[in-house]
Amino acid sequence: MTAQDFRERSSWVFTARVVDAHCFASDDGRLILTRYRLAVDTTLKGRHQEWAEVVEYGGRLGDKELFVSHGARFRKGAEYLIFTHRDSQGRLRTLGGAEGQFQIWRDGRHHRMLRVYPHHPLSDWFQTVAPSGLVPLEQGMQLLSRQLERPHESR
Amino acid sequence: MKAVEVTPACQARRSGLLLLLLVSLLALSQSAYLILTGDQREPVLWGEASLPVRMQVWRGFTDQLPSIVAGSRPKIAFEAALNEWVGVSSIAVSLSETSRSLVGQDGVNLITISDDPTHRDLIGENLAVALMWTLSSRIIEADVAFNPSPPSPWSTIEDKDDLSLLDVAVHEFGHTLGMEHSVARSSRMFFQAGAFNFGLHGLSYDDLAGINLLYPLPGLDRLTGSIAGTVTRDGQPVFGAFVVAADQTGALAANAITQRNGSYRIDRLPPGLYSLYAEPLDGPTTPLNLAGTLVSPATDLVTDFLPAFHGGSMAPTVELSAGALRSGVDIAVSRGNVSVDPEFVGVVEKLGSGIRATSTPASAFQGSSPHFVAAGKGVEQLPEQQAFVLLGAISTDGNVAQTLSNGSIVFKLFPMTIADDVPRGDYSAFFRRGAQFGVVTGGLQVFSPFRFLQAFGQFAHMPGIAGSSAILVNLHPELSAQGRVTSQGSTPGALDLEGLPPAGAGGAMEFDLLPAGALLARSRGPQEFRGAMLAESTRSLGAAVLVESPFGTTGLNPSPPLQYFVAPVEVASGGQGADTGLALANLDERGALVYLQLQDSAGRVLGEAVQELAPRAHLSRFVREMIPGAVPPDFKGSVAVTSNRALIATVIRTSPGVFTTLPVIQNRVAPQRVFPQFVQFGPLSSELILVNPSPTRPATGVEVQVRGQNGLPAPVTLNGTFHPNGRLTLNLPPLGSTRLLSSQTEVIGWVEVSSQPGVGGVLLYRSAEVGTAGIGAGAASTQQVLPVQRIASQALDMGIAIVNLEPGPVRVTLQANDAAGTPAGNRREVVLGPFQQLARFPNDGELNLGLPDDFLGSLWLDADGRIGVTGILQSPGVLTTLPTFNRQLPIIPADDL
């Protein structure tokens, strides 16, 4: 994935907190998927909605677990900035797998920070403010909005 | 996986400013040691009940698909990719085909590229994904799905614009066996591992260490040690630090990630001196690429610290012994964010020539003086003097030789000198700015300038007594090859070969081969030599060696680089009758430790020993001398050999008046072994020796089928028992072996051995009049090349045995090429019925190749089905076999490297 891919192929970019993760079997029972329910905070691109359901391959049903490479995985209770798109079955998916998710941390003073790793395709967008890889969330959102060429919309 | 390439502005005008290559692989559960771990940090690996791992390729995965370059051979690439892991560990894997095409838990471990909506959704922008179903930390099923619409076509024919199926498969199969991503760029498990290398890179030592934690080779724990310690910052543990061990040559060994209490442990390190450093896990690999339970999605991972060495010194100070745990190797880091962290690296041979830098490792050759290119974060701020540092054997003054820019990215070039004896391997590049430094771990890979190797464990010259000769064939039909022959043995530099120019620096004798050309090199001179012979080339090379002694002439199969193999052993009357020796050569520039384990035919261990082998040294001894006191006076069994460095090996078998060499047996996925010649007729008899190379898994249901020349099952008597259908089924315990000696019932034909996973074997082809020949199992393939030698004055000729391995007819085209690569004699086409064998001298019967009476060259066979081929060299008093070369692997480059 390139920065251009993230810009052009994302349909909905938002920050959200994971409130639930539910694993389920595919219709034919041969795959395990996880449906993440997220409370959306801020939308940077796309139509704002209060809730999002992101589906990813992989998960655990009983004692059985399916690992899928390069897939995005979310932790219940954690906050993320997520680039999403719709797959062929109309499901909301994380764009670029793990590369399309950015965790939001709280620093020692409880400021919300966006973790951007230096080699990430989007790191250039934050380069001027993130030598440490941690970007104050509000500032990061403004930079992202500028790159995505659309003002962000909050609930 | 994502590989990114950048070029400075001066080139950008020609080649485009920024070329982005989308290449994605995968991430799985996390690990502190590059293997997958479960909730309780236990390794995730295949459970006993699921072994052997039966991988199955979708039958439609062929070069007929639009996303695959025509002429590619996916299944052969998958077999080679699996063998990379199987050959260096104790995991048992088989490979077959299936009609299933869709991933999902269904009891089939599928390899597919089927264009299906589910696959597209699953794969997304990745090149391939692996899926693993686990139960209680045991893998119970695994599938691999390749992208049916990749950004570049898939191929097994080297081309810089295509994606290498082999390379991506090696990475994916690593995951399916339980390997996590490695943080080192040089590892095959690096999440951006090169998908355009076409087999150039083997497994790194880091990969070897990881797979051997999961599926250990016998004795490897006695040949390696462990280093453990803690990483702290301000006295507090650092969670998620990446700790790297480099040996005294600067070459990377293995890595680990610290746990929540700051501790780390690196296993499977060869003994020696090490330097250790810690760096933050802040890219290119991040916790997002290690998507498991320890470091991702952990929120308390510490990444704001500066890279630091144990003891504050880059010099190797940590001494490690074999079998030891060296603990307390702590590393103190300081708070901060590194200001120099180049994302892109490269190598340029000459200043002023084309420059490119990528997110994958830079490659350089032994014996070269190129420049290292760095671009990206902080490079523009590096000082002009002493900014670049390499550990150990590669020298640099560290000064900037040139600075370039493409507007947004600054490139700096630093000189390097890589001597001939710098070990091939992976190195880290360090960048110093004031008191702090940045590091690109595994950013430089050092290779031999000659990519293709054919090595022989035994090569001897004893004036007036014994001599050796080698036939080398360029397997590229259109491009010339340059190469060199070197030796390792009793008297360094003593080997003198007629047919090659005198040895130059380092004892290397250089050669050029025309396309499809051949040459003969024969030992000469007054100096005695016993050792190993290595032929290296810029092109795929075929080579065969003949050793002539008063006890007859024996043909040698080349040995691939080995870290594990099994050899059949026979001793009679304490060595006065039959005896068995091993000829070993250490291919590495560093010393090797070799573990030998003797077991009887039931696999019961009778003894073990560890041998040291100096850098580039050769050792040739009887097994009873290598494992003193363990070998009974009359014994039939095998010896399993594990090494902590790459070896080449040949089995030497002697009996009064007989000297024969045999190939060693490797752990392999190939289910079918073919011996194209099996005879019980008059003075000729055959002995088939089968060995289960797995140290852990029994081989059950091994089927031996003897067929006549007409392809039909042939009645045969083996070990005194008559088998009317030429078939017997047997079981072999782990490391067990058996010998099947023909007698009585006349047979002229061939034999195949089928098992899942594959057992190995050799065939001893005996003549009461002219000695014994040892034949290794032949490759089943459609394109083979056989060296051919005919000398009228010595009545020496080369018999050719061709076997059709298909249940239907196969058309075989034969064309001989002379030493200049020019077609010679008649181009012939023969059709073999189902399972038929054709064994003829070149100018006889159906073959009628019309070759001159004196001829040196090669015979190229192209078939529309799988065939097995062997050469049988015969003259009065001489009977030996010569190997054929499979043109399907290694994959032949389409243009210059």
> B314 vs chain A: nearest CA distance in angstroms?
25
In angstroms, rounded to a whole number, what is the distance separating the alpha carbons of residues B32 and B30? 7
> B130 vs chain A: nearest CA distance in angstroms?
5
* The pLDDT value given to residue B29: 25
C-alpha atoms less than 13 angstroms from C-alpha of B193 in its C-beta half-sphere: 35
* The pLDDT value given to residue B180: 80
Q: Do B291 and A28 touch (CB under 8 A)?
A: no
In angstroms, rounded to a whole number, what is the distance separating the alpha carbons of residues A20 and A28? 24
Q: Say what the alpha-carbon torsion angle B615, B617, B622, B625 is, to the nearest 10 degrees.
A: -50
**Residues of chain A contacting residue B304, judged by C-beta atoms under 8 Å apart:** 132-134
The one-letter amino acid at A59? G
In angstroms, rounded to a whole number, what is the distance separating the alpha carbons of residues B690 and B603? 13
ipTM of this complex: 0.89
Q: Which chain B residue has its CA at the smallest distance from A80's CA?
A: B297
Q: Which chain A residue has its CA at the smallest distance from B359's CA?
A: A119
Q: φ, ψ for residue B482 (rounded to 5)? A: -115, 145
B28 touches chain A (CB under 8 A): yes
Specify whether the CB–CB gap between A144 and A137 falls below 8 A: no
Q: Which chain B residue has its CA at the smallest distance from A6's CA?
A: B125
**Residues of chain A contacting residue B105, judged by C-beta atoms under 8 Å apart:** 29-31, 66
Report how far apart, in Å, the C-alpha atoms of B672 and of each of B93, B745, B781, B802, B805 are: 13, 25, 11, 16, 10
In angstroms, rounded to a whole number, what is the distance separating the alpha carbons of residues B317 and B248? 9
Radius of gyration of chain A from its Cα atoms, rounded to whole angstroms: 16
From the list A66, A70, A75, which residue is nearest B26 (CB)? A70
Interface of B with A in 330-359 (CB under 8 A): 337, 339, 341, 343, 359
Specify whether the CB–CB gap between A102 and A114 falls below 8 A: yes
In angstroms, rounded to a whole number, what is the distance separating the alpha carbons of residues B359 and B24? 13
Listed in sequence order, the residues at least 6 apart from B95 whose beta carbon sits closer than 8 Å to its beta carbon are B55, B56, B57, B75, B78, B79, B82, B669, B670, B671
Specify whether the CB–CB gap between B296 and B287 falls below 8 A: yes
DSSP character string of B717-729: EETTEEETTSEEE
Hey, is B193 helix, strand or coil?
A: coil
Q: Which chain A residue has its CA at the smallest distance from B128's CA?
A: A69
**Residues of chain B contacting residue A118, judged by C-beta atoms under 8 Å apart:** 282-283, 341, 343, 377
Q: Do B134 and A132 touch (CB under 8 A)?
A: no
> A142 vs chain B: nearest CA distance in angstroms?
22
Q: Do A70 and B337 touch (CB under 8 A)?
A: no
**Residues of chain A contacting residue B120, judged by C-beta atoms under 8 Å apart:** 87-88
Spans of chain B below 50 pLDDT: 1-4, 9-34, 292-297, 890, 892-897
From the list A2, A69, A91, which residue is nearest B175 (CB)? A69
- Tokens standing for residue B388: 């670049």
Chain B contact probe: residue of A69, A112, A125 with most B CBs at under 10 A: A69
Report how far apart, in Å, the C-alpha atoms of B746 and of each of B705, B707, B714, B722, B767 are: 15, 12, 9, 11, 14
pLDDT at A87 over 50: yes
* The pLDDT value given to residue A121: 76
What's the first-to-final CA gap in chain A, in angstroms? 29
A25 touches chain B (CB under 8 A): no
Specify whether the CB–CB gap between A57 and A68 falls below 8 A: yes
In angstroms, rounded to a whole number, what is the distance separating the alpha carbons of residues B336 and B714? 76
Q: Which chain A residue has its CA at the smallest distance from B335's CA?
A: A132
* The pLDDT value given to residue B752: 93
From the list B104, B291, B343, which residue is nearest A28 (CB)? B104
Chain A contact probe: residue of B106, B125, B377 with most A CBs at under 10 A: B125
Beta bridge partners of A57: A33
In angstroms, rounded to a whole number, what is the distance separating the alpha carbons of residues B485 and B493? 11
From the list B284, B289, B337, which residue is nearest A98 (CB)? B289
**Residues of chain B contacting residue A84, judged by C-beta atoms under 8 Å apart:** none
Hey, is B162 helix, strand or coil?
A: coil
Q: Do A119 and B103 touch (CB under 8 A)?
A: no
Beta bridge partners of B417: B395
Question: Residue B303 gets which letter from DSSP?
Answer: -
- Tokens standing for residue B279: 């760096």
The neighbour count for residue B612, using CB atoms within 10 Å, is: 12
**Residues of chain B contacting residue A101, judged by C-beta atoms under 8 Å apart:** 288
In angstroms, rounded to a whole number, what is the distance separating the alpha carbons of residues B495 and B506? 12
From the list A78, A89, A131, which residue is nearest B337 (CB)? A131
Specify whether the CB–CB gap between B886 and B806 falls below 8 A: no
**Residues of chain A contacting residue B172, judged by C-beta atoms under 8 Å apart:** 69
> B114 vs chain A: nearest CA distance in angstroms?
16
> B348 vs chain A: nearest CA distance in angstroms?
23
Listed in sequence order, the residues at least 6 apart from B248 whose beta carbon sits closer than 8 Å to its beta carbon are B272, B273, B274, B316, B392
In angstroms, rounded to a whole number, what is the distance separating the alpha carbons of residues B875 and B872? 10
In angstroms, rounded to a whole number, what is the distance separating the alpha carbons of residues B181 and B35? 8
Q: Do A118 and B283 touch (CB under 8 A)?
A: yes
Beta-sheet strands, E only, within B136-271: 138-146, 154-155, 163-164, 225-233, 236-237, 242-247, 252-257, 263-269
Beta bridge partners of B581: B622, B652
Chains A, B: CB contacts within 8 A come to: 135
Interface of A with B in 119-138 (CB under 8 A): 119-121, 123, 131-134
A2 or B16: whose pLDDT is higher?
A: A2
DSSP character string of B727-787: EEEEEE-TT-EEEEEB-SS-EEEEEEEE-SS--EEEEEEEETTTEEEEEEPBP-EEEEEEE
In angstroms, rounded to a whole number, what is the distance separating the alpha carbons of residues A80 and A52? 12
Do β-strands A12-25 and A32-45 pair in parallel, antiparallel, or remain unpaired? Answer: antiparallel
Q: Do B121 and A91 touch (CB under 8 A)?
A: yes
* The pLDDT value given to residue B202: 78
From the list B125, B284, B359, which residue is nearest A96 (CB)? B125
If residue B513 lies in a helix (H) or strand (E), which one and from where to where?
strand B509-513
Best CA proximity match to B613, nearest among B588, B586, B644: B586
Q: Which chain A residue has its CA at the smallest distance from B125's CA?
A: A96
Specify whether the CB–CB gap between B411 and B404 falls below 8 A: yes
DSSP character string of B572-618: -GGGTSSEEEEEEEE-SSS-EEEEEEEEETT--EEEEEEEEE-TT-E
> B692 vs chain A: nearest CA distance in angstroms?
32
B122 touches chain A (CB under 8 A): yes
Q: Do B117 and A1 touch (CB under 8 A)?
A: no
| pLDDT tier at A150, thresholds 50, 70, 90 | low
Specify whether the CB–CB gap between B269 and B226 falls below 8 A: yes
In angstroms, rounded to a whole number, what is the distance separating the alpha carbons of residues B474 and B451? 13
The neighbour count for residue B23, using CB atoms within 10 Å, is: 28
In angstroms, rounded to a whole number, what is the distance separating the alpha carbons of residues B853 and B521? 20
Specify whether the CB–CB gap between B511 and B442 falls below 8 A: no
